[in-house]
Amino acid sequence: KQEVTQIPAALSVPEGENLVLNCSFTDSAIYNLQWFRQDPGKGLTSLLLIQSSQREQTSGRLNASLDKSSGRSTLYIAASQPGDSATYLCAVSLYNTDKLIFGTGTRLQVFP
């Protein structure tokens, strides 16, 4: 059974720091991996989607990498800002299913 783990569960950093959020999964037979952002009490916003054949995706200050063989993905946030404060979730989709399996998220706080 696929399990998705995110470490750390919470992170507090000063503005301007570069930071890395981690996601690991137990079954490497994935179709893709997605990173989402969730603001308190709100829905999820898709940030990046990495296909299984790709190694990384970039969008602005965000860079996500994927190492399928080791079952890991990282989300790198450059020059963090208070507006980046949110919960970040990763999710994987498996071959031959139509489901996303979500991690429990990393709650990020960036203070001025």
Partner 1 sequence: DVKVTQSSRYLVKRTGEKVFLECVQDMDHENMFWYRQDPGLGLRLIYFSYDVKMKEKGDIPEGYSVSREKKERFSLILESASTNQTSMYLCASSQGTAWGTQYFGPGTRLLVL
Contact positions toward partner 1, by CB under 8 A? 31-32, 34, 36, 41-46, 49, 89, 91, 93, 98-100, 102-105
What's the closest the beta carbon of residue 93 comes to partner 1, in angstroms?
4
d(CA 70, CA 97): 21
Those residues with Cβ within 8 angstroms of residue 100's Cβ, 6 or more apart along the chain or in another chain: 34, 91, 92, 93
28 CA to centre of own chain: 16
Question: Given the complex with partner 1, which of 13 and 49 has the nearer CB atom?
Answer: 49
What's the closest the beta carbon of residue 16 comes to partner 1, in angstroms?
30
